[in-house]
Amino acid sequence: MTQPLALLVAGPTASGKSALALALAERFGGTIINADSMQLYRELRLLTARPTPEEEARVPHRLYGVRPAAAAASAAWWREQALAAMAAARFPILCGGTGLYFAALRQGLAAIPPVPGWAREEARSLLAAEGPAALHARLDAETAATLRPSDSQRIARAYEVWRGTRRGLVAWQEVAPNAPPAPYRFAAILLDPPREALRAAIIRRFDAMLAGGAIEEVRALVALGLDPALPAMRAHGVPELAAYLTGGMSLEAARERAVLNTGQYTKRQATWFRHHPLADTQDTHIIHARIGGLAQFPEREIEKIFAFVEGRR
Q: Answer for the pair 50, 65: CB distance below 8 angstroms, yes or no.
A: yes
Q: Measured on CA atoms in the order 44, 19, 37, 133, is the torsion positive or negative?
A: negative
Q: Answer for the pair 217, 50: CB distance below 8 angstroms, yes or no.
A: no
Radius of gyration of the chain (CA): 19
Q: Measured on CA atoms in the order 175, 180, 183, 187, is the torsion positive or negative?
A: negative
pLDDT value, residue 1: 59
Scanning 115-194, the segments in alpha helix (DSSP H) are 117-130, 132-137, 141-144, 152-165, 169-173
Find the mean pLDDT for residues 144-170. Answer: 86
Q: Answer for the pair 60, 4: CB distance below 8 angstroms, yes or no.
A: no
For residue range 65-106, list pLDDT tens digits in order. 999 999 989 888 999 999 999 999 999 999 999 998 998 898
Mean residue pLDDT across the chain: 90
| Residue 21 to residue 190: CA distance in whole angstroms | 11
> Buried b / exposed e across 8-26, counting CB within 10 Å, b at 16+?
bbbbbbbbbbbbbbbbbbe
Spacing of C-alpha 237 from chain mean position: 15
| Residue 307 to residue 251: CA distance in whole angstroms | 45
| pLDDT above 80: residue 108 | no
For residue range 178-212, list pLDDT tens digits in order. 666 788 999 999 999 899 989 999 999 999 999 99
Helix axes 99-107, 75-87, angle to 10 degrees: 60
pLDDT value, residue 233: 94
Q: Give SS3 for 23.
A: helix
Cα–Cα distances (Å) from 12 to 55, 124, 157, 263, in that order, read 21, 30, 23, 9
In 10 A of CB 280, how many CB atoms? 11
Higher-confidence residue of 257 and 147: namely 257
| Residue 204 to residue 198: CA distance in whole angstroms | 10
For residue range 117-155, list pLDDT tens digits in order. 888 889 888 988 999 899 999 998 888 888 878 888 789
307: phi then psi, degrees, rounded to nearest 5: -65, -35
State if pTM tops 0.85: no
